[in-house]
């Protein structure tokens, strides 16, 4: 699948903020992985398209947090806060800067992981083959950005997320994630009972390995 086709499919299905095939490095361009409204979020090192002083202040705080992050100490970085704090825009600015240093980025709306649950267990029916390919992209990208990580969570979603994060942790690959809710509180927003063997290790991994900013 070509980048343009992947992005067109993404826009039609709303399953992904952006999808690219990282296996075709020659065709890779990082702006294709960033949602359209954030593709000009950083120009000349300056934050653009923010018209509120409060939001610009929020963005400045988050960018300082991202720049202060040392991947050698904590491989992942996260921003947690309510809607309207410009979390995604702040991450987009940092993503542009990382990409200019040669890092391969993949930005995914985390809710798409629920669709990938079948792919994790080898289900090739109903588009599962493409889902498996997307999951491999998520496993191998230099930097995986999971935006709004708890959106539409189910137990299946959390199982897929846990295995994906474990794969990336074992390979020492970077994860940047945003959320409206702290990992300690996800039981209160999931309509299903989350098994302890998923909840405990998932929250422990996210909190223990991430440079956290709670707004």
**Per-residue pLDDT band at 105 (split at 50, 70, 90):** confident
Find the mean pLDDT for residues 206-210: 95
Tally of domains within the chain: 1
Q: Is the pLDDT of residue 176 over 80?
A: yes
**Nearest-angstrom CA–CA distance, 171 and 116:** 20
SS (H, E, C) 135-179: HHHHHHCCEEEEECCCCCCCHHHHHHHHHHHHHHHHCCCEEEEEE
Of 18 and 31, the structure prediction assigns the larger pLDDT to 31
The domain that holds 159 is classified in CATH as 3.40.50.300
Supply the DSSP symbol for 213. E
Per-residue pLDDT tens digits for 21-72: 323 332 333 445 676 667 665 554 444 445 577 777 888 899 999 999 998 8
Return the pLDDT at 28: 36
Which structural domain range is residue 106 located in? 3-214
């Amino acid at each position: 699948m070509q980048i343009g086709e992947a992005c067109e499919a993404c826009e039609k299905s709303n399953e992904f903020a952006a999808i690219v095939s990282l296996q075709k490095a020659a065709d890779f361009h990082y702006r294709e992985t960033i949602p359209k409204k954030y593709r000009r979020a950083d120009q000349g090192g300056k934050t653009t398209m923010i018209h509120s002083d409060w939001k610009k202040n929020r963005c400045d705080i988050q960018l300082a947090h991202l720049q202060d992050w040392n991947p050698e100490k904590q491989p992942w970085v996260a921003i947690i806060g309510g809607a309207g704090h410009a979390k995604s825009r702040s991450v987009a600015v940092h993503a542009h800067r990382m990409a200019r240093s040669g890092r391969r980025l993949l930005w995914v709306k985390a809710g798409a992981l629920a669709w990938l649950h079948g792919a994790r267990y080898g289900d090739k029916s109903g588009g599962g083959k493409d889902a498996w390919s997307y999951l491999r992209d998520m496993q191998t990208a230099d930097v995986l950005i999971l935006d709004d990580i708890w959106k539409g969570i189910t137990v299946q979603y959390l199982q897929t997320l846990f295995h994906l994060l474990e794969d990336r942790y074992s390979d020492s690959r970077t994860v940047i994630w945003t959320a409206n809710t702290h990992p300690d509180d996800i039981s209160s927003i999931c309509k299903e009972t989350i098994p302890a063997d998923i909840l405990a290790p998932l929250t422990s991994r996210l909190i223990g390995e991430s440079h956290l900013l709670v707004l």
